[in-house]
Amino acid sequence: MRIVAVVVAYNRRELMIGTLDALAAQTRPVDAVLVVDNASTDGSAEEAAAHPAVTEVVTLTRNTGGAGGFSAGMAHALMALSAEAIWLMDDDTAPTPNALEELEKAWRAYPGKLALASSRVVWTDGRDHPMNTQRQRLGASRSRRRRAHRAGGVPIRTGSFVSLLVDAHTAWRYRLPLADYFIWSDDLEYSARLLRHGHGILVPSSVTVHHTKAFAAALRSPGDRFYYEVRNKLWTFFKSPAFGPAEAVIYFGYTLAGWVGAIARSSERKRLLRAARRGLRDGLRRRPRPNAEVLAGQGRLSAEVAAVDARAVGP
């Protein structure tokens, strides 16, 4: 299986170097490493190009957020790098040396076809990271649980772009991650869309360290970014085919409770409420724009994104 790692980078040069060093140290070598630079201004692109682990660097002309970076990176991995599986990660991710080996071992042991496999994500002190909690599949059948157990995994309903291995055949069948999300919930929507009818597992023996500044969930101090949390969750649960109606209501109930709690705990309640109002407005009135529109003006990358999405037969 030819595995291409896609790392999306933006102005975190030192953390990115740690990610690339970790990829170079894998016991199962990565077949290719693609760095997607989101118009960084700190020399990230040049540093990546000089790193011995890196196969190719593609630089976007503007910051398109993690969502745009992963969309463009996946398209390039499929179109230009002959990926059979794509290993997605942010530039603050450090997979432990056997992370990919364990993912591939579970992938091969699974009795059936996997759409994706995800690593266990921990913080720097080894605790499970609350920002990257992966939703287990509600009401998973005994057969599905048995299959996952045989591969050393757990059946999941969603995964995180902090170490997510995606099957290329599945990626060709579905539209790419939605670039209009910019940040937050793009991995939720994309993984849930692939797993609505597909199979995915969390592989606890594959461990990745997420180097965030604090051990906290994304809503601890979201500031103006709360806009993306609200807008993108509304898009995911009510304007995407990622979840069925009952699932959407259940997950949205948990999400709504999280929003209320975040606002109640915040010392910037007015700021969060303003962001939430804008998110509600755009989440209810608009739909995500097509990737080809959001990522226009990126030369070859724009054409590759449009070609992959045009070939999709699933939503």
- Over the stretch 1-48, which tens digit does the pLDDT of each residue have? 999 999 999 999 999 999 999 999 999 999 999 999 999 999 999 999
- Residue 133: per-residue pLDDT: 80
For each of the domains in the chain, give its residue range(s) and CATH number, in order of start: 3-215+288-311 (3.90.550.60)
Cα separation, 46 vs 39, in Å, equals: 11
Q: What is the number of other CB atoms lying within 10 angstroms of the CB of residue 297?
A: 9
- Residue 277: per-residue pLDDT: 97
pLDDT over 80 (residue 116): yes
Contact at 8 Å (CB) between 64 and 34? no
Identity of the amino acid at 2 = R
Tell me the torsion sign for CA atoms 136, 139, 145, 148. Answer: negative
Cα separation, 83 vs 85, in Å, equals: 5
- Residue 214: per-residue pLDDT: 84
pLDDT over 80 (residue 217): no
- Selection from 182, 60, 179, 173 nearest residue 115 by Cα: 173
Structural tokens at position 78: 């499929």
pLDDT over 90 (residue 136): no
- Residue 220: per-residue pLDDT: 78
Cα separation, 14 vs 118, in Å, equals: 25
pLDDT, tens only, 245-280: 999 999 999 999 999 999 999 999 999 999 999 999
- Residue 134: per-residue pLDDT: 84
Nearest-10 Cα torsion for 176, 180, 181, 187? 10
Which SS3 state, helix, strand or coil, does residue 93 take? strand
The residues, ordered by sequence, that sit 6+ positions from 181 with a Cβ below 8 Å of its Cβ are 65, 67, 189, 228, 232, 235, 288
| Chain mean pLDDT for the chain | 96
